[in-house]
Structure 1
Amino acid sequence: MAANEVYQYSIVSALMDGVASHGTPIARVLAHGDHGLGTFRHMVGEMIVLDGAVHQMKADGSVERVTDPAATVTPFATVTRFRPTARARAAVRGKAGLQQLLTRLFPKARNHFLCVRMDGVFRAVEVRTAGGQACAREGMVDVCARQTTHRFEGVRGTIVGFRCPAYVMGVNVAGDHFHFITDDRRRGGHILSFETEGEVDVAAAQMSNFHLELPTEDDEFNEATLVLQAEGIKEAEG
């Protein structure tokens, strides 16, 4: 794939219906991108793909690098070959502040995808991590109801994520979806809130090409209803 094209395996509505027992090897996902987000088999932890390396962020707040992506499976992931087309150095107070900054950088991207990376020191970052399904086909809302939250203060790290247009809700997560990892790659999770400590480096790119691969030969996916649960997705994703 060319730079700044979105590749996605499966859809968020499948996770909502508990389709997470199978998936695709992460090595296949990395063939399409070096920057992105996802989860792992049975929704055990959060995935962050940064500079081509894959990390699993666990329910206790710890992080483990995936050393064998050919043998590790993901039921859902979104990646791109990230090549920034806009950069800024700015203080960012939370998701609302980031939304304003991205709108200023990309004033005509309301109906396009954006890929984002932020590097610097963060005054506070609150994250959550899901511990995984308690049984087969348990949906994402129930899985996330048992999530753990962690707060990191005065940490240097990286935020990775996407802004997706409203019309893809259910295929992906409409709006902003970000994960965080510390510079030492030891802590992280799905961002609930954050605030920078002064200015950080922000890099972003607007994307207009979207490639979707759906699971095949997967009974869970074939039997799922895949009805849009917009409020449930918003609840699960924070």
Structure 2
Amino acid sequence: MQKSAQTGLNLISVPVRIKGTFLPATLLQPVTAQLLHLRSGLEQRLKEGAASLLCSAPVVLDLSQLPDALDFQGLLVMCRELQIQLVAVRTNQPELQQQAQAAGLVALNEVERAAPAANQESLPRTRVHEGPVRGGQQILCETGDVIILGSVNPGAEVLASGHIHVYGKLLGRVLAGIHGDQQARIFAHQLNAELLAIAGCYLTGQAAMLSATESPVCIELVENKLQCRCC
């Protein structure tokens, strides 16, 4: 009986599972060390509807573009006051990395993407998804375009390094050119999106819904602003 009980105990699954995953995060990249200027810019973005990107999603603070020394502690206080959900800081400066870790944030190094070797296939790849993208589901392609043969429902998310084509209703969140391709575009048969983004420039909330249309549309980046036109 004792041996049987021990065998039964061994069949109990482990109490925790560890899996690799991809979770989208907002990249906050200051280009000035002047905190008053930064705060003014952030407050304006929040008024324009960026709260879903800055306050309801994990945010990585990228300090790679700063030309001057930064009051890091002052910046952290400002982010807390604006309810920006910082989870990590990306910098190669050891002092800032230590301050980030002391504040309970993850310290990330600035890592350049390696160029493909000469014998590696460098052609973009397209990911095709058949059927609707349901709420809570995410479709990601880091090497090319995404084609959705269906609708993108509210709460769903589609991300691509290239273009995004939606042969149905676009009601969720779509982010094209996620690696900085400003020529990327978003195409949809009908548009009433929660969020539109190309190469880090975005429309969200009411601003995105103002572009709603029941006709086929193309969204492109023109002078760092998203523009919507009928196809």
**Fold agreement, TM-score > 0.5:** no
Q: Which has the larger radius of gyration?
A: 2
Q: What TM bracket, shorter-length normalisation? A: under 0.3
Kindly indicate which of the two structures has a greater share of residues assigned to strand. 1
- More relative contact order, 1 or 2 (CA 8 Å, 6+ apart): 1
- The TM-score normalised by the length of structure 1 is 0.26
Could you state the TM-score of these two structures normalised by the residue count of structure 2? Answer: 0.27
